[in-house]
Amino acid sequence: MPGRATPGPGERTTGSVATFDEERGLGTVVTDDGRFLPFHCTAIADGSRTIAVGTRVAFGVVAGHLGKWEATGLAPCVA
């Protein structure tokens, strides 16, 4: 979205898992500032390849396939 900065390499941001299709291994997170970013189950940091919708997460943002931004290193936020 215009006017919204994307975190640079190595920076982490927070948000919530908005969708996750366990069969396909694909999901999206919504950042705290409202951006939706896709992720693949291999981007879940604990290696479980599954995560519940609504989980608060911290993650990095990288240029993915075709240069689109993706979430990576998803880890649940500790309360």
pTM for the model? 0.85
Domains and CATH numbers, the chain: 13-76 (2.40.50.140)
CA–CA–CA angle 29, 25, 2 (5° rounding): 30
Q: Confidence band (pLDDT; 50, 70, 90) for 11?
A: confident
Q: What is the mean pLDDT of the chain?
A: 90
Please write down the HEC assignment for all residues of 15-47.
EEEEEEECCCCEEEEEECCCCEEEEEHHHECCC
Confidence at residue 57, expressed as pLDDT on a 0 to 100 scale: 98
pLDDT digits (tens, 9 = 90+) for 36-58: 999 999 999 999 999 999 999 99
Looking at the predicted structure, is the pLDDT value of residue 3 above 60?
A: no
* 3-state SS assignment for residue 55: coil
Confidence at residue 79, expressed as pLDDT on a 0 to 100 scale: 67
